[in-house]
């Protein structure tokens, strides 16, 4: 795997951050992550747009323009010599003279091995546990994932795969992916306190041909009469959720409409 | 300046973190910071205790014991060859194979040049602006300082030095230091949603000989009849606050009792 760090391309294991980086010392960093299909960055325009928007909201200047970033990404993909890869961008507040003042941001772009969800999760659906929490600045893809890392043991103990955040009964998102439910042919997804996922956006586009897609508050109480539930992310694609805490969604089997959307998504990806 | 990183002592500019570190990628890190007086770590026992406690709360194992850490710190101080230094510990979730799972923590200990507050701030007092916010897991010295870094421009525009956090009218702390007010001979300091500062603790001990020290909710409304206000931290010591947003504390001059506590603190430090 290869990475680009502040102007230089190197094997990933030869890249490192100095100890005064504000991402490291002060958690002042943001990132983005996408993957390739057919060796090309999937939904590049949307990912770049989101990354640039996160940077604006964190008052950081991205040191490369979109076209240059694309050329670098294609070079990294080519050098990595794998059929498909993940690509991670990390932008931090840079090296600080006093451990707090932002100077020149550090930009890392690197390829990563993919970690797809195991196939049995698609066949059986996953369980998630609930947590009363809402991410700060949820629309910014900041590097702050303390919450889910601290919940890792609780997730394992519950034989669950992830956590579903809710606050005052309103559902927002999973730790690193978005949330959808079907009620009949209505497809509902939370409209706020979320990261605007690119796979979420892709699925909303694909789904609108066949279903009534609504971005709206989704409450815990909505789970009781949901017919299907699933989560979306670049690595999970469209992954059925069959249990939320102690509650089984419908009959506890992945739903037909969810399976259909996964097929639609995979077809789009296949032809990317 | 010198640092210890996972077993090796090197000049700080030769130490670096690989790109899969969870402090960098996921903001999963904590730290602590103290300084020397007479070349010895001030309040070492208390700082070590807090650092170890932060690690427990983040489910991380500190890879060195207290005695070994002390020996390393003394070696770093000696090699750094400055009359007095700051010492920073950083403990992260370590290098992760999948960008999310914690494996073996990375521990960095390093000396830093001190950045004392300018002397005119002690003579005139500082201004702080208000922000409606409370730190997540405030009692853990995590690396999450996004909030104050994003407020840097607002602080500068207001000709202020820092931010004072409050939530629903209850004051907690400044961005990197604790908060106190005097009402007559009563010394009040917030009792919750705070990092338990070591300088705060030191001042509370010193003050109890002469004043009635109370840890209790401190409200914004308490500022109106406060006689004095100040903030404490290892670098700020006891620094008067004379303005909070548009509100001037008492007559807008640093108070006598604040000055007295600073003198008491400096005497303790001088004899450390």
Give the pLDDT band of residue B250 (cuts 50, 70, 90): very high
Identity of the residue in A19, A23, A146 whose CB atom sits nearest the CB atom of B16: A19
Mean pLDDT, chain B, whole residue set: 97
Q: Which of B9, B25, B91 to mutate to test the interface with A (most CBs of A within 10 A)?
A: B25
Between CA B25 and CA B28, with CA B26 as vertex, the angle to 5 degrees is: 120
Task: Work out the minimum CA distance from A39 to partner chain B, whole angstroms.
Answer: 21
Task: Work out the minimum CA distance from B52 to partner chain A, whole angstroms.
Answer: 16
pLDDT in tens, B6-27: 999 999 999 999 999 999 999 9
Task: Work out the minimum CA distance from A10 to partner chain B, whole angstroms.
Answer: 12
Question: Phi and psi for B82 in degrees, rounded to 5?
Answer: -125, 150
Report which DSSP code applies to B14.
G
Residue of A nearest to B100 (CA): A149
Domains along the sequence of chain A with CATH: 2-112 (3.30.470.10), 119-270 (3.20.10.10)
In a 3-state reduction of DSSP, which class is residue B166?
strand
Identity of the residue in B18, B93, B150 whose CB atom sits nearest the CB atom of A149: B93
Task: Work out the minimum CA distance from A20 to partner chain B, whole angstroms.
Answer: 9
pLDDT value of residue A166: 98
In a 3-state reduction of DSSP, which class is residue A219?
strand
| Residues sharing a CB contact under 8 Å with residue A226, sequence separation 6 or more, in sequence order | A181, A182, A183, A249, A250
**Residues B162-186: what's their mean pLDDT?**
98
pLDDT in tens, A214-231: 999 999 999 999 999 999
- CA distance linking residue B153 with residue A60, whole number of Å: 13
Q: The pTM is what?
A: 0.96
State both tokens at B149. Answer: 């870094």
pLDDT value of residue A82: 94
CB B93 to CB A143 under 8 A? no
Alpha carbon B130 to chain centroid, angstroms: 18
pLDDT value of residue A37: 98
**Residues A117-125: what's their mean pLDDT?**
97
Residue of B nearest to A26 (CA): B143
Identity of the residue in A92, A101, A149 whose CB atom sits nearest the CB atom of B102: A149
| Sheet strands side by side (includes A8-11) | A8-11, A2-5, A106-112, A86-92, A29-37, A40-41
Question: Phi and psi for A210 in degrees, rounded to 5?
Answer: -115, -20
A chain contacts of residue B19, beta-carbon cutoff 8 Å? 3, 5, 12, 15-17, 90, 108, 110
Between CA A73 and CA A79, with CA A75 as vertex, the angle to 5 degrees is: 120
Identity of the residue in B16, B102, B115 whose CB atom sits nearest the CB atom of A16: B16
pLDDT in tens, A189-205: 999 999 999 999 999 99
Task: Work out the minimum CA distance from B71 to partner chain A, whole angstroms.
Answer: 21
CB B198 within 8 A of CB B46: yes
- CA distance linking residue A248 with residue A245, whole number of Å: 8
- CA distance linking residue B192 with residue B168, whole number of Å: 13
ipTM summary value: 0.95
* A70 closest CA partner among A84, A94, A89: A89
Q: Which of B4, B8, B11, B26 to mutate to test the interface with A (most CBs of A within 10 A)?
A: B26
CB B137 to CB A115 under 8 A? no
Identity of the residue in A24, A59, A92 whose CB atom sits nearest the CB atom of B29: A24
Q: Which of A1, A21, A143 to mutate to test the interface with B (most CBs of B within 10 A)?
A: A143
- CA distance linking residue B69 with residue B85, whole number of Å: 16
């Amino acid at each position: 795997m290869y990475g680009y760090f502040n102007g230089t391309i190197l094997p990933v294991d030869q890249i490192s951050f100095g100890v005064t980086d504000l991402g490291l010392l002060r958690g002042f960093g943001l990132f983005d992550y996408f993957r390739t299909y057919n060796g090309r960055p999937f939904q590049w325009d949307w990912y770049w747009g989101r990354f640039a928007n996160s940077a604006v909201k964190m008052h950081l200047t991205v040191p490369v323009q979109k076209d240059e970033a694309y050329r670098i990404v294609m070079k990294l993909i080519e050098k990595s010599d794998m059929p498909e890869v993940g690509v991670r961008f990390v932008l931090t507040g840079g090296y600080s003279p006093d451990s707090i003042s932002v100077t020149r941001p550090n930009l890392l772009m690197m390829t990563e091995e993919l970690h797809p969800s195991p196939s049995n999760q698609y066949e059986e659906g996953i369980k998630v546990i609930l947590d009363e929490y809402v991410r700060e600045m949820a629309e910014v893809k900041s590097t702050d994932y303390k919450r889910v890392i601290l919940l890792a043991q609780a997730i394992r103990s519950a034989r669950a795969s992830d956590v579903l955040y809710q606050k005052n009964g309103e559902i927002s998102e999973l730790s690193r992916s978005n949330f959808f439910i079907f009620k009949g042919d209505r497809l509902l997804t939370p409209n706020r306190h979320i990261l605007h996922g690119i796979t979420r956006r892709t699925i909303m586009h694909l789904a609108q041909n066949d279903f009534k897609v609504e971005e709206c508050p989704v409450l815990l109480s909505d789970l009781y009469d949901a017919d299907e539930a699933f989560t979306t992310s670049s690595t999970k694609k469209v992954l059925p959720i069959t249990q939320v805490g102690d509650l089984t969604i419908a009959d506890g089997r992945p739903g037909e409409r969810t399976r259909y959307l996964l097929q639609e998504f995979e077809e789009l990806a296949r032809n990317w």
